[in-house]
Amino acid sequence: MGKSNDAPGHLLAVASNVVSLAHVRRIEEALESAGIEVVRLKGSGYLGTLYPTFDRRMVDVDLLVRPVERPRARRVLQQCGYAVVPPPRHWRYSWHQHYNWQFVGDGVRPMLELHQALCAAGLFDIDSDGLVDRRVRRSDGVSEMYTLCPEDALLHLGVHLVKDGYQHDERLPADAARMIEQWRPDWDVVVERAHRWRVTAGLRYVLEEARGAGAEVPESALEGLGSPGRGAAIRAIVGELGPLRSRALRFTKLAVLALEPRGGRNLARFASRYALRRSVDGLYALGPDRFE
């Protein structure tokens, strides 16, 4: 699971991941030395844990810090040799509300994104400080590091899926299945937190993908996330609009947000967030030195 049929390419990807994580460890040490708590997100948190042979494709490194620590964390990254790339105009809202991207190194260091949240404000009800409070210490096979707790990590898959308009990612079923099998989330906590975050339909989609990959997902958890009809409707929408990719992404988001519980409120939040984002983009069009 996760291996390529191209042996040389597979070995190159594994080697690249190992080198990238060596740089990540040095960054984590610098952040922790500065008193900044850090959490690995997505692939950088899965390699060496869910994927002990480091054979999962990783595009970049995602690190989470507390919102109040983001400016200091950015300065630490720059001291570690990273250069910040100011966001294009239409991403300035996300720069302030979600994550700073991207930090680029010298061609050897992996590209890095510094998160203060799992998504921009407005789509979900997630306490970013709580994510850091609940972080779990793990070993990546070489050294100790922190990931999201099992329940938050599983919910993050649903959040990421919804915010990206259910774009297909071939890694999702394996990621979710391994997470369930190896990290053993507390299902009562998962369901309760999914309702609190407002990501029940997205999480149900993730769990159905995991079940399809062989993971044991209790029926009570699926039932606790609401009607399977929403999931079927989402799959139909994604099946129709998915091939259009970016052109249909916004329409896909609107459609699937409407199918979440309290769908009307979700759409209102999306509209207000979009209007705010456009306003903020204009206010922040003052040059890269303004991105604090």
What does each C-alpha distance from 95 to 21, 80, 179, 243 come to in angstroms? Answer: 24, 21, 29, 28
Q: Which residue would you say has higher pLDDT here, 132 or 120? A: 132
Rounded-to-integer distance, Cα 122 and Cα 96, Å: 13
Residues above pLDDT 70, as percent of the chain: 67
pLDDT above 90 coverage of the chain, percent: 40
Tokens of 266: 């979700």
Q: Exposure of 105 by Cβ count < 10 A (0-12 exposed, 13-18 middle, 19+ buried)?
A: middle
Give CA angle at 166 (127, 109), nearest 5°. Answer: 70
Q: What mean pLDDT is predicted for residues 23-49?
A: 94
- Work out the angle between the directed axes of helices 187-197 and 200-212 (0-180°, nearest 10): 140
Ordered by where they begin, the domains of the chain are: 1-148 (3.30.460), 149-263 (no CATH)
The average confidence (pLDDT) of the chain is 78
Q: Quick one: CA torsion of 111, 117, 122, 123, rounded to 10 degrees?
A: 70
Residues 8-25, mean pLDDT to the nearest whole number: 84
Q: What is the pLDDT of residues 266-284, one digit of tens each?
A: 555 555 554 544 443 343 3
Residue range 195-217, pLDDT digits in tens: 999 888 889 989 999 999 999 99
- pLDDT given for residue 96 in this prediction: 60
| Cis-peptide into 102, omega within 30 deg | yes
When mean pLDDT is compared over 6-10, 210-214, 248-252, 273-277, the highest value belongs to 210-214
Model pLDDT, residue 137? 96
pLDDT recorded at residue 94:
60
Q: What is the DSSP letter of 14?
A: H
More confident site: 11 or 258: 11
How many whole angstroms separate alpha carbon 111 and alpha carbon 88?
17
Per-position b or e across 87-104, b if 16+ CB within 10 A of its CB? beeebbbbbbbbbbbbbb
How would residue 224 be classed by pLDDT, with cut points 50, 70 and 90?
very high
Find how far residue 156's CA is from the centre of its chain. 6
pTM: 0.78
CA distances from 206 to 16, 73, 178 (A): 28, 32, 12
Residue 123: per-residue pLDDT:
73
Residue 239 — pLDDT band, cuts 50, 70, 90?
A: low
